[in-house]
Chain A
Amino acid sequence: MQEQVKAQVLAAHTRRRSIGFIPKLYYHYRRMAKWIAIFLAISGPGIIVMVADNDAGGITTYAVTGSRYGYGLLWFLILLGPAAYYVQEMTVRLGAVTKRGHAEAIFESFGNFWGWFSLLDLVLVNWLTLITEFIGMTAALSIFHIPPYITVMVVSIVMGIMVLQGRYWTWEKVALLFCGLNLIYIPCAFIVQPPVSEVMRGALVPGFPGGFNGNIFFFLMANIGTTIAPWMIFFQQSAVVDKGMDEKDIPFGKVDTLVGSMFTVLVAAFVIILTATMLKGIPIQSAEQASVAMMGINKYLGTFLAIGLFDAGFLGAICISLAGSWAFGEVFGWAHSLNNKIREAPWFYGSYFIAVITAGAVVLIPGAPLVEITLFVQVIAVTLLSAILVFLTLLLNDKELMGKYTNTLFQNIISVTIVSVIIVLSTLYAVSVLFPNLFS
């Protein structure tokens, strides 16, 4: 019997070896083409959430970092890429295995108190962040003399059309187009021809330009705050569920998240390279100021920077507003899919429009406390981020829920380290926002 099996294995091996080079190549090509086709069909949530993470606030942070510290903090951004990947990768597994959004998962696993806390905190922080996205968009288009009310109206209408067309797939592809526009900073940075050796030194050699002090600490924490945000966890998990991803799709979801995390670091790094090359030493407070200052040096680059800022705000707005509506829909049991028509999911779309219209309206109120809102949003975001990261880690360790997709020991060591560092630094960031003189 054993001899027979051996002979069969040998025959199969000989047959495989006798296949020619061309058929083998064709086989690998077909296999790769199939893999790419599946990846293209499944990818989306990871890339969108990561690129949208470079929202208006993010672009402002990177522009100011570049103009103050040159290429000196590029290494820190590169470290943040894997951290963002590990956090978001957990949401892919959680969404694909449980087929539930994050809000529902918290209610179910941790009960009412933490459920309501997370939901209401998410709604508040999303709404405040949405206001900051509108601030970024109106500021960017005001450079081109477009009045804020026109910007708010047009953006709200476009956001409405995007969700009302009735298909998640279409929404995702349009969002991916805007993600593509976010890459505008990469050619811009090549145009300015930065000194490659200095850029490489800044990217590969850790250091603190001017020494470690309160100011640089503030910027490190601000960069963390813009790279890992609470809405991202809710958004990606809900998007994975809305897209109908299954356990077998997890490897593709991971690659999607990995590609997204590379994009987010690339865009952030190139914004820093651009502003470090062109605006080093110029006191810049916002991305809008950076665009105007850049226009004085190179009209086209300044224009691209402003377009990029608008796009970043728009991407942030379309994702953040959806994250809140998905969460409400999950908990209240409303139909909450972009595949539903407005008649089928009135509450889902209603909550979406209420958030968008009210956030846009706040920006138009004369004398509205926009600076206070921008500061307050950091503190509220930190309260939610810490709680969500703890819940995420606990859920990923729940064997009954996750089965074979439970965190391994290695994943736990990485995630607990990342979560602990993020909680400590983001808390210090929130404290430094409230008390600016504390660390100086």
Chain B
Amino acid sequence: MREFLKHRFKKIYEINQRYAKPRIQTTRSVRFALIFLKLYLFFLLGILVLKFINSLKGS
């Protein structure tokens, strides 16, 4: 089991190393799209948290 986990973590480390640098050129439109996505994800996370709090209050 330990060997298995060690091997898996090693693989994840390798993947992180392999794809550490994004290949796509970070033009203005790419930067804008990625910033938009991050903000959008924060928004969705926010409404999920809100829903969770509401359901806790409801119960």
Contact = CB atoms under 8 A, between A and B. Distances in A.
Which 9 A/B pairs are nearest by Cβ-Cβ distance? A111-B22, A109-B24, A107-B19, A434-B51, A383-B44, A110-B22, A390-B33, A109-B23, A112-B16
Given A110-B24, A390-B37, A435-B51, A430 B44 contact: yes
Contacts, number: 61
Interface residues of A, number: 29
Given A110-B24, A111-B21, A332-B11, A379 B48 contact: yes
Contacts of A107: 15, 19
A110 B34 contact: yes
A387 interface: yes
Contacts of B25: 398, 400
A29 B25 CA distance: 48
Interface in B8-59: 11, 15-16, 19-25, 29-30, 33-34, 36-37, 40-41, 44, 47-48, 50-51
A154 interface: no
Q: Give the secondary structure class of A's interface.
A: helix
Given A332-B15, A430-B44, A390 B22 contact: no
16 contacts: A109-B24, A110-B34, A112-B19, A112-B20, A114-B34, A114-B37, A332-B11, A332-B15, A379-B48, A383-B44, A387-B37, A387-B41, A393-B33, A394-B30, A423-B40, A427-B40
A292 interface: no
A151 interface: no
B37 A386 contact: yes
Contacts of A383: 41, 44
B44 A382 contact: yes
A223 B8 CA distance: 40
A390 B37 CA distance: 8
Contacts of A111: 19-22
Contacts of A435: 47, 51
Nearest to B14: A333
Nearest to A119: B15
Interface in A86-120: 107-112, 114-115, 117
Contact of B19 (A115, A332, A395, A398): A115
B22 to A, nearest CB: 4
Given A379-B48, A383-B44, A434-B51, A108 B19 contact: yes
B22 A109 contact: yes
A331 interface: yes
Given A108-B23, A112-B19, A394-B30, 17 more contacts: A109-B23, A110-B24, A112-B15, A114-B37, A332-B11, A332-B15, A333-B11, A379-B44, A382-B44, A386-B37, A387-B37, A387-B41, A394-B24, A395-B24, A398-B24, A430-B47, A434-B51
A383 B21 CA distance: 24
Contact of B40 (A112, A386, A394): A386
Given A110-B24, A434-B47, A434-B51, A390 B36 contact: yes
Nearest to A398: B24
B26 to A, nearest CB: 10
Contacts of A395: 24
A375 to B, nearest CB: 9
A318 B14 CA distance: 31
Interface string A368-400: 000000000001001100110010011100101
